[in-house]
C-alpha cells in the first residue's frame, strides 16, 4: 500500500521526518555503527509516536495530559527534522569540495550529528516515559470524565416560533414554488435538496416548509441523519411517522421493504435533514418509490456533491440557501438586544459586527445574545472588543457554544491532510481574496501534499481545494475565463474558528494591529498582516525566527523584518503595499537552503537574482514590480528544480535546460539575444502554462506592419528588423509544435499577421488560447483540433462563412472574445443553431455590429458585449438580430467607439471631436434593434 509522506498540523513533522531518518542510514553518509543504531532506535520511537498522534487526532476532545504530550511531541519532531536537514545540507555542501579540508569538515559534521542524535533520542525517550508515567485513571477530575454535551442547535430549529424568524418568508415561498413546480408530470415524485454552510438555517427552512405543506399529504416524516448516523433507527423513524408508530425493527432491508409497500398508495412528504455522507443517502433513498401521486422529498446537507447526488437519484434540483441581506440581518440582530431602536453611537460598530456575521443567522443570534446579556449593553467599548477580538469570545463564551459546535462538526469530519490545508487559511488576512493556484503551490511547498497513487501533488492539492468548496467551508470568490474557480474567500467567522484551531496546534503565528497569537512555543509559520503600529514592530523584532518554516508578509515596506533572521524557511511571501521605488538588498535569501516557494511583490529586489542557483529546492519563483521589465535574468543561474517561473523579465540563455517547468510567465521577447534561448522552449515537455510578451521593437521598420508572409519575401538588406522577427517566429512555431502538455497559451505584444497560421501540430490538451495580438487573415482550420478548448481570444482580418463554421465546432468553449478588423460576410456574423452549447461569455468587436443568432445557438450565454464604430449607423438595423433566442442572457452591453478610442464622453476620439449626431443616431438604432428583438415596443 502506498503511503503519502506529508506534513501535518497535528503530527508536526513526524511523517516527513521518518523517511529522512531512514535516508541517514544510507552508505553515502558513512556514519558509525553506534550512530546508526541510535538513528534506528529514534526512528522506531518516532514511528510509534506518529501512530498515537494520528489516533489522538481522530478524537474530538483530549485531556490536558494528552494535549500537553501531543504538543511536545509535535514540537520535538520539528526540531529533529531541522537538525537532520541542516546536517544533510552540510554534508552535501562539503561533498562538492575537494582536499583535506573537505574531509575534516565532513568528519566534524558526522561527529556533531552523532552527538546531536543522542541528545534528541534521549529527549524522545524521556517524553515517552513521562507520558506512560501518568496513567489516565490517576488524572482525577479529567475533562474526559465530565465532558460537556453540546445541545444540538437543530433541536431548537424544529420548535422555533415562526413569528420570531426574520428573512425566511421569501426563501420559504421559493422552496414551496419549486416543490409544486411542474416536472413534466405534476404527479411524479420530486426532490429539492437544500445546500449551504453550517448555521445558515437549512433545518429551520426545511421545517417551516414542512409545517406549511404537510396538510396536503397523506403521510409525512421529518428525520435527522447527523454525522454518525444510525441508518436502522432513521428508517424505523420514517416508518413510525408514516405507517406504524409501534414498530420495533433493526433490519434495514426489512424496514425498506415495509416502507415501500406502505408508501405505494400514499402521497407522502418526507424531510431528510443533515446528510453528511453519500453512503447514508444511498442507504436511505431506497425507501422512496415513484407512485405517481405527487409525493415530495426535501433533503438538507452542507455538501454540494451530496445535494447533486440526491437530485440525480430522483427528479430534483438543488436550492442553495442564501444568507440574510443587510436589512434582515439588522432586524434579527436588533430584535435580540433593543426593545426599540439601536442607539445612534452604536450603529457604526454594529455595521462592522454584522459584516463579520455575513448574514449567517446562527452567528447573528449568538453574537447578539452576548451583547444582550452584558451589563453594559450600550457600551461602545464592549461592542468594539467583540468586533475586534471575536476569536477570543469564540473560544470561551458559552453563548457561542452553538457556533463552535456547528463549526467543529465540519472540521472534525475532515481527514488529517484536509484539516492541515484548512488551517493554512489562517495565514491570510480577513476579507482576503485567495488565489487558488497560489494556494495550491503553497500547500505543496509546505509539504502538506505529495504524490499519491500515481497522481501528481498539483492534482491532489486541487482535489483538496475542490473538497473544501464542496463542503461549503470556503466560498467561491471568482471564476476564471475557462469557467473554473479562480479564487476563494473564507467566511469571517470560519476564519476566526480556523485561527483558534491553528493557535491550539501552534500551526501559525498571526500578528497584526489587532492581536497576536504568539504563545510560549517556537514560531513555525509567521503571518504579518498590515502592521502599522510600533508595538507590533517591536514584538516582531524580539521574536526568535530561526525555526520558522514559512514567512508571509502584507504591509508597508518599513515593517518587513530582516530576512537574515530566518534560516529554515520553506515559504517566503512578501507583498508590499504603497508606491515605493526603493531598492532592498535580499541577498541573504540565497542562504535559505530549504526554500521552495518565493514570491515578492511591490518592492525592487537586488542582490539575489544572480545567486538563485544556490536554492536547490526552489519550485516557485514569482517577482512582480514595474521595474522588472528592464531585468535580464540568466537562465544559467536558475535552479533546475523550478516548476513555476513567473517573472516579467528578459531571459538570457537556453530556456530548454529548465525541463521541470510547468508554468512560464511572462517571458519577454524583444532582442536578438533571446533567439538562441527560444529554440529550447520546445524541450519543456511538461509545460502547461506559457505567457509571452513580444516587444513591438522586433517588427519596427518605421513603416507599415507587414504580414509574416510579406516579411519572408523582402530582400534581407532592406528589412533586417523583420528578419530578426522572422527568426524569432520560426523558433516560436517550432517550439509550440513540441509542447504536447500545453494547456494555456497567452501572447501579448505585437506580432504580424499569420505568424501562427502554420502551427502544426497544435497541442491537443489546450484549454486557453489568447492570441488577440497575433492576428490571422482568416480563421485557421487547425483550431478545430482543440476539442477541449474553453477560452479563446482571437483577431481575424476577414471573417468568412467558413470561419464562422470552424469556430462553431468548438463545443467546449466557455469564453470567446472575437475581434474582426476588416471584412464580414454580406449577412454579417450569423451564429448557427446548436453552435457553442457551453458558451457563457461572448465579446464581439467589429466596426459593423451585425451579429445574429439563430434559434438554438448559445443556449447558456449569460454575458454578451458588442463593440462597434460610430459609422456603423448605416447598418445598425441588423444589430443583435435573434437575441430573443438567448434564454440564459443576463447582461447585454453595446460599447460604441470612435476610431481606436472608446467614447466615454461626447467629445472623445483620436482625431478631434466626435459628431454628436452620429453617436445619437447609432444609439437610437441600437436600442430600437434590441427592443425589437427582445419583443419590447419601440421607444
Alpha-helix runs per DSSP H in 714-814: 720-736, 801-807
H/E element, 576: strand 571-576
Give domain 168-320's CATH architecture. 3-Layer(aba) Sandwich (3.40)
As a whole number of angstroms, the distance between CA 698 and CA 748 comes to 13
Could you give the CA distance from residue 728 to residue 672 in angstroms, rounded to a whole number? 8
| 782 against 514, higher pLDDT | 782
**Residues 900-911 pLDDT 10s:** 444 332 333 344
Neighbours of 387 (CB within 10 A): 18
CA-nearest of 873, 816, 874 to 845 is 816
Give the residue, 224 or 540, on which the prediction is more confident: 224
Beta bridge partners of 665: 646
For the ranges 95-99, 231-235, 325-329, 660-664, which has the lowest average pLDDT? Answer: 95-99
Query: Is residue 923 pLDDT above 80, yes or no?
Result: no
**pLDDT digit string, tens, across residues 5-43:** 567 787 888 888 888 888 888 777 777 788 888 888 888
Band (582; pLDDT cuts 50, 70, 90): low
CATH of the domain spanning 326-508: 1.10.10.10
Helix residue spans in 314-399 (DSSP H): 326-335, 347-357, 361-373, 380-388, 390-396
Provide φ and ψ at 818, rounded to 5°: -115, 120
Contact yes or no for 548/525 (Cβ under 8 A): yes
List the one residue out of 919, 929, 807 whose CA is nearest residue 877.
929
* pLDDT the model gives residue 139: 43
Report helix, strand or coil for 640.
coil
- All three cell numbers of 897: 467607439
Residue 939 confidence (pLDDT):
41
pLDDT of residue 773: 85
Task: Give the span between the Cα atoms of 225 and 243, in whole angstroms.
Answer: 20
Share of the chain above pLDDT 70, in %: 82
Cell numbers standing for residue 439:
494556494
Q: What is the 3-state secondary structure (H, E, C) of 675-711?
A: HHHHHHHHHCCCCCEEEEEECHHHHCCCCCCCCHHHH
User: How does residue 881 score in pLDDT terms, banded at 50, 70 and 90?
Assistant: confident
Average pLDDT score, the chain: 82
What is the spatial distance between Cα 14 and Cα 75, in angstroms, rounded to a whole number? 10
pLDDT of residue 677: 65
Report the alpha-carbon distance of residue 282 to residue 735 in Å, rounded.
51
Rounded distance between C-alpha atoms, residue 188 and residue 182, angstroms = 9
Q: Residue 574 in 3-state DSSP?
A: strand
At 712, is the pLDDT very low, low, confident or very high (cuts 50, 70, 90)? very low
Give the Cα separation of 119 and 571 in Å (integer).
29
C-alpha cell at position 141: 477530575
DSSP assignment string, 809-875: T-TT--EEEEEEEEE--TT-EEE-TT--TT--EEEEE-SS--EEE-TTSSTT--EEEEEEEGGGGGG
Q: Could you give the angle at the alpha carbon of 294 between the alpha carbons of 289 and 299, nearest 5°?
A: 65
Dmax of the chain from CA atoms? 101
- Measured CA to CA, the distance from residue 563 to residue 585 in angstroms comes to 10
pLDDT at 100 over 80: no
Residue 720 has pLDDT above 60, yes or no: no
R_g of the chain, CA atoms, integer Å = 32
**CATH class of the domain whose range is 7-132:** mainly alpha
- Distance CA(709)–CA(450), nearest Å, equals 48
Residues 6+ apart with CB under 8 A from 695: 668, 669, 670, 671, 749
Amino acid at each position: 500500500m502506498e503511503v503519502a509522506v506529508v506534513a501535518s498540523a497535528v503530527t508536526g513533522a513526524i511523517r516527513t521526518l521518518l523517511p529522512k531518518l531512514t535516508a541517514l542510514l544510507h552508505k553515502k553518509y558513512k556514519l558509525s555503527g553506534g550512530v546508526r543504531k541510535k538513528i534506528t532506535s529514534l526512528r522506531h520511537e518516532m514511528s510509534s509516536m506518529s501512530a498515537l498522534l494520528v489516533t489522538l487526532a481522530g478524537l474530538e476532545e483530549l485531556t490536558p495530559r494528552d494535549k500537553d504530550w501531543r504538543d511536545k511531541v509535535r514540537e520535538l519532531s520539528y526540531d529533529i527534522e531541522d537538525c537532520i536537514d541542516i546536517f544533510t545540507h552540510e554534508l552535501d555542501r562539503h561533498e562538492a569540495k575537494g582536499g583535506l579540508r573537505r574531509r575534516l569538515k565532513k568528519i566534524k559534521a558526522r561527529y556533531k550529528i552523532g552527538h546531536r542524535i543522542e541528545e534528541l533520542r534521549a529527549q524522545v525517550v524521556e517524553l515517552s516515559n513521562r507520558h506512560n508515567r501518568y496513567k489516565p485513571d490517576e488524572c482525577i477530575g479529567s475533562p474526559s470524565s465530565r465532558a460537556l454535551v453540546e445541545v444540538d442547535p437543530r433541536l431548537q430549529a424544529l420548535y422555533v416560533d415562526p413569528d420570531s424568524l426574520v428573512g425566511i418568508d421569501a426563501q420559504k415561498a421559493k422552496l414551496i414554488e419549486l416543490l409544486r413546480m411542474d416536472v413534466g408530470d405534476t404527479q411524479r415524485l420530486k426532490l429539492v435538496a437544500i445546500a449551504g454552510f453550517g448555521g445558515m438555517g437549512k433545518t429551520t427552512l426545511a421545517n417551516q416548509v414542512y409545517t406549511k405543506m404537510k396538510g396536503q399529504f397523506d403521510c409525512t416524516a421529518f428525520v435527522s441523519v447527523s454525522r454518525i448516523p444510525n441508518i436502522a433507527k432513521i428508517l424505523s423513524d420514517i416508518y413510525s411517522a408514516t405507517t406504524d408508530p409501534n414498530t420495533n425493527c433493526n433490519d434495514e432491508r426489512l424496514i425498506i421493504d415495509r416502507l415501500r409497500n406502505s408508501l405505494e398508495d400514499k402521497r407522502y412528504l418526507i424531510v431528510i435533514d443533515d446528510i453528511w455522507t453519500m453512503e447514508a443517502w444511498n442507504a436511505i433513498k431506497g425507501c422512496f418509490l415513484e407512485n405517481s401521486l405527487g409525493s415530495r422529498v426535501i433533503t438538507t446537507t452542507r455538501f454540494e456533491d451530496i445535494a447533486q447526488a440526491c437530485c440525480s437519484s430522483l427528479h430534483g434540483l438543488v436550492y442553495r440557501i442564501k444568507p440574510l441581506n443587510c436589512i434582515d440581518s439588522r432586524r434579527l440582530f436588533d430584535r435580540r438586544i433593543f426593545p426599540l431602536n439601536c442607539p445612534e453611537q452604536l450603529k457604526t460598530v454594529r455595521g462592522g459586527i454584522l459584516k463579520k456575521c455575513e448574514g449567517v443567522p446562527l452567528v447573528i443570534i449568538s453574537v447578539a445574545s452576548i451583547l444582550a446579556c452584558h451589563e453594559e449593553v450600550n457600551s461602545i467599548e464592549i461592542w468594539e472588543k467583540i468586533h475586534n477580538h471575536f476569536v477570543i469570545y469564540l473560544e470561551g463564551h458559552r453563548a457561542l457554544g452553538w457556533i463552535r459546535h456547528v463549526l467543529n462538526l465540519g472540521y472534525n469530519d475532515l481527514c488529517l491532510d484536509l484539516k492541515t490545508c484548512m488551517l493554512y487559511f489562517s495565514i491570510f488576512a480577513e476579507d482576503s481574496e485567495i488565489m487558488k493556484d497560489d494556494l495550491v503551490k503553497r500547500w505543496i511547498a509546505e509539504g502538506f501534499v505529495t504524490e499519491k497513487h500515481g497522481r501528481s501533488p498539483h492534482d491532489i492539492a486541487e482535489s483538496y481545494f475542490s473538497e473544501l468548496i464542496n463542503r461549503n467551508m470556503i466560498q467561491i470568490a471568482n471564476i476564471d475565463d475557462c469557467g473554473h474557480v479562480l479564487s476563494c474567500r473564507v467566511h469571517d467567522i470560519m476564519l476566526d474558528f480556523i485561527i483558534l484551531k491553528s493557535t491550539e496546534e501552534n500551526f501559525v503565528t498571526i500578528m497584526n494591529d489587532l492581536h497576536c497569537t504568539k504563545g510560549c512555543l517556537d514560531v513555525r509559520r509567521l503571518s504579518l498582516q498590515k502592521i502599522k503600529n510600533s508595538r507590533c514592530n517591536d514584538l516582531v523584532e524580539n521574536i526568535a525566527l530561526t525555526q520558522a518554516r514559512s514567512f508571509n508578509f502584507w504591509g508597508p515596506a518599513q515593517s518587513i523584518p530582516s530576512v537574515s533572521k530566518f534560516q529554515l524557511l520553506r515559504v517566503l511571501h512578501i507583498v508590499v503595499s504603497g508606491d515605493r521605488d526603493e531598492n532592498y538588498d535580499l541577498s541573504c535569501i540565497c542562504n535559505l537552503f530549504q526554500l521552495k516557494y518565493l514570491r515578492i511583490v511591490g518592492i525592487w529586489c537586488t542582490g539575489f537574482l544572480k545567486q538563485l542557483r544556490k536554492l536547490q529546492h526552489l519550485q516557485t519563483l514569482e517577482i512582480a514590480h514595474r521595474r522588472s521589465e528592464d531585468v535580464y535574468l540568466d537562465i544559467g543561474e536558475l535552479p533546475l528544480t523550478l516548476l513555476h517561473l513567473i517573472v516579467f523579465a528578459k531571459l538570457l540563455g537556453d530556456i530548454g535546460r529548465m525541463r521541470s517547468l510547468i508554468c512560464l510567465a511572462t517571458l519577454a521577447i524583444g532582442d536578438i539575444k533571446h533567439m538562441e534561448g527560444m529554440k529550447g522552449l520546445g524541450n519543456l515537455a511538461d509545460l502547461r502554462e506559457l505567457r509571452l510578451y513580444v516587444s513591438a521593437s522586433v517588427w519596427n521598420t518605421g513603416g507599415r506592419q507587414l504580414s509574416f508572409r510579406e516579411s519572408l519575401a523582402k530582400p534581407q538588406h532592406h528589412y533586417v528588423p523583420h528578419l530578426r522577427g522572422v527568426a524569432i517566429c520560426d523558433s516560436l512555431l517550432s517550439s509550440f509544435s513540441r509542447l504536447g502538455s500545453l494547456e494555456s497559451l497567452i501572447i501579448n505584444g505585437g506580432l504580424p499577421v499569420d505568424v501562427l497560421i502554420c502551427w502544426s501540430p497544435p497541442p491537443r490538451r489546450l484549454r486557453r488560447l489568447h492570441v488577440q495580438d497575433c492576428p490571422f487573415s482568416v480563421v485557421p482550420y487547425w483550431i478545430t483540433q482543440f476539442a477541449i478548448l474553453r477560452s479563446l481570444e482571437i483577431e481575424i482580418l476577414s471573417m468568412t462563412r467558413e470561419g464562422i463554421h470552424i469556430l462553431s465546432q468548438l463545443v467546449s468553449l466557455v469564453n470567446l472574445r472575437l475581434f474582426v478588423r476588416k471584412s464580414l460576410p454580406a449577412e454579417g456574423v450569423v451564429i448557427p443553431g446548436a453552435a457553442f452549447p457551453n458558451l457563457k461569455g461572448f465579446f464581439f468587436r467589429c466596426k459593423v455590429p451585425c451579429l445574429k443568432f439563430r434559434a438554438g445557438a448559445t443556449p447558456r450565454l449569460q454575458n454578451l458585449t458588442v463593440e462597434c464604430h460610430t459609422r456603423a449607423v448605416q447598418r445598425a438595423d441588423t444589430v443583435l438580430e435573434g437575441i430573443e433566442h438567448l434564454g440564459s442572457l443576463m447582461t447585454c452591453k453595446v460599447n460604441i467607439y470612435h476610431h481606436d478610442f472608446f467614447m466615454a464622453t461626447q467629445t472623445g476620439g483620436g482625431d478631434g471631436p466626435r459628431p454628436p449626431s452620429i453617436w445619437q443616431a447609432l444609439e437610437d438604432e441600437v436600442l430600437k434593434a434590441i427592443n425589437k428583438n427582445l419583443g419590447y415596443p419601440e421607444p
